[in-house]
Copies of this chain bind each other. A is one copy, B any other.
Amino acid sequence: MLKNDLLIRALKRQACPRTPIWVMRQAGRYLPEYMEVRSKADFVTLCKTPELAAEVTIQPVDIIGVDAAIIFSDILVIPEAMGMRLEIIESKGPRLYEPIRSGADIDNLKVPDVSEALRYVEDAIRLTKKQLDDRVPLIGFAGAAWTLFTYAVEGGGSKNYKYAKEMIYNHPKEAHKLLGMITQVITDFLLMQIECGANAVQIFDSWASALSEDDYKEFSLPYIKQSVEAVKAKHPEIPVIVFAKDANTILPELADTGCDALGLSWNIDIARARGILKDKVALQGNLDPTMLYASPDRIREEASKILQKFGQHTDSSGHVFNLGHGILPDVKPAHLKVLVDYIKEESSKYH
């Protein structure tokens, strides 16, 4: 039994005494304690060493007091498990070698048995769960198929997604084949994470806004829906969060994937989002990550505004406080602590 189950209750839109908070990339470079662990191992090694991954996963729970842990890993472990060589230099971004540009490249990829290829994530989750001792829930995650597709086809980050777009526009059948393969791995991976202890899962579609609405409905949404449905069919009690960054015009369609909650970028007003979605799903977000550069008073002022904008809770509403994107590496940990303390103290008046 979880000692603090606020995240789960909020995601399921059950009554909560206050709003829970965690932040994306909370186990990361802004924490000196993370940097110390990181100095012993490169990023990928850190992901693959359960003792170290568990240690950094739990740091923000101990140091900052967030209401959930999220397993330390990276969305690109999936393309690596499919056979691509991965290199991550945090300050430069990730590289995937031998990018996928043709049908032959796709045929060379494998749909691995995740319990073997991603066993290190399972081990990290089991160890983290043990060490966390049910103090807070543990979140598992995966990238969305479209976002992982762009990395695999581009060979890394991208400004204009030239090769990914060329594939969906000129070779849509191949694109769908690759997206289908990636989705199979995502689904298996999410199930594995749940089955070894994750209490909730999040799907990150970081590059959602690179597509037109119609292309999003063809090349991203059905694959997210497929994974969400597979998870909910087997584990209906596990909440699923979908974070499709900046996909602000298609929130109802995202909610229709069957997920429990939608993550929001900071460039949509959370009151507007709640008005559109009418508590069909819980909402997660959505403070501008750069607000943590501001003074403590300004941080509290803005956090208060977001709580107010979400408004009073009913018996079927849910709000998980978070940033609108990952915490930035040069933020002061004390500033995140200001935010977390404020939400813990002030949010009860909306419940």
Residue-wise, chain A 293-332 has the 8 Å CB interface mask toward B (1 for contact) of 1110010001001000000000000000000000010100
Q: Which of the 9-residue segments A27-35, A70-78, A157-165 touches chain B? A: A157-165
Say yes or no: A294 contacts B169, CB within 8 Å. Answer: yes
Chain B residues with CB under 8 Å of A293's CB are 162, 165-166, 169-170
Distance between Cα atoms of A283 and B350 in the complex (Å): 41
Distance between Cα atoms of A249 and B305 in the complex (Å): 19
Say yes or no: B212 contacts A160, CB within 8 Å. Answer: no
Chain B residues with CB under 8 Å of A272's CB are 213, 249
Copies assembled: 2
Most B CB contacts (10 A, CB to CB) among A210, A249, A272 go to A249
Q: Is A288 an interface residue (CB 8 A)?
A: yes
Say yes or no: A160 contacts B290, CB within 8 Å. Answer: yes
Most B CB contacts (10 A, CB to CB) among A210, A214, A288, A289 go to A288
Partner of A290, one of B162, B269, B328: B162
Chain B residues with CB under 8 Å of A88's CB are none
Q: Which residue of B lies closest to A210 (CB)?
A: B267
Q: Is A246 an interface residue (CB 8 A)?
A: yes
Q: Which residue of B lies closest to A161 (CB)?
A: B290
Q: Which residue of B lies closest to A268 (CB)?
A: B249
Chain B residues with CB under 8 Å of A213's CB are 267-269, 272
Q: Is A209 an interface residue (CB 8 A)?
A: yes
Chain B residues with CB under 8 Å of A290's CB are 160-162, 165-166, 169
Chain B residues with CB under 8 Å of A330's CB are 162
Residue-wise, chain A 133-170 has the 8 Å CB interface mask toward B (1 for contact) of 00000000000000000000000000011100110011
Distance between Cα atoms of A349 and B294 in the complex (Å): 54
Distance between Cα atoms of A268 and B213 in the complex (Å): 6
Q: Is A120 an interface residue (CB 8 A)?
A: no
Q: Which residue of B lies closest to A272 (CB)?
A: B249
Known: A210-B267, A213-B269, A249-B249. 5 other contacts (CB 8 A): A161-B290, A170-B298, A212-B267, A216-B267, A247-B267
- Interchain residue pairs with CB less than 8 A apart (30): A160-B290, A162-B293, A165-B290, A165-B291, A165-B293, A165-B294, A166-B290, A166-B293, A169-B291, A169-B294, A169-B302, A170-B293, A170-B294, A209-B246, A211-B267, A211-B288, A212-B267, A213-B268, A213-B269, A214-B269, A215-B288, A216-B267, A246-B267, A247-B267, A248-B248, A249-B249, A249-B267, A249-B268, A249-B269, A249-B272
Give me the interface of A with B, judged by CB distance under 8 Å: 160-162, 165-166, 169-170, 209-216, 246-249, 266-269, 272, 288-291, 293-295, 298, 302, 305, 328, 330
Of all A-B residue pairs in the complex, the 10 with the closest CB atoms, nearest first, are: A169-B294, A165-B290, A213-B269, A209-B267, A166-B293, A249-B268, A212-B266, A248-B249, A169-B298, A170-B294
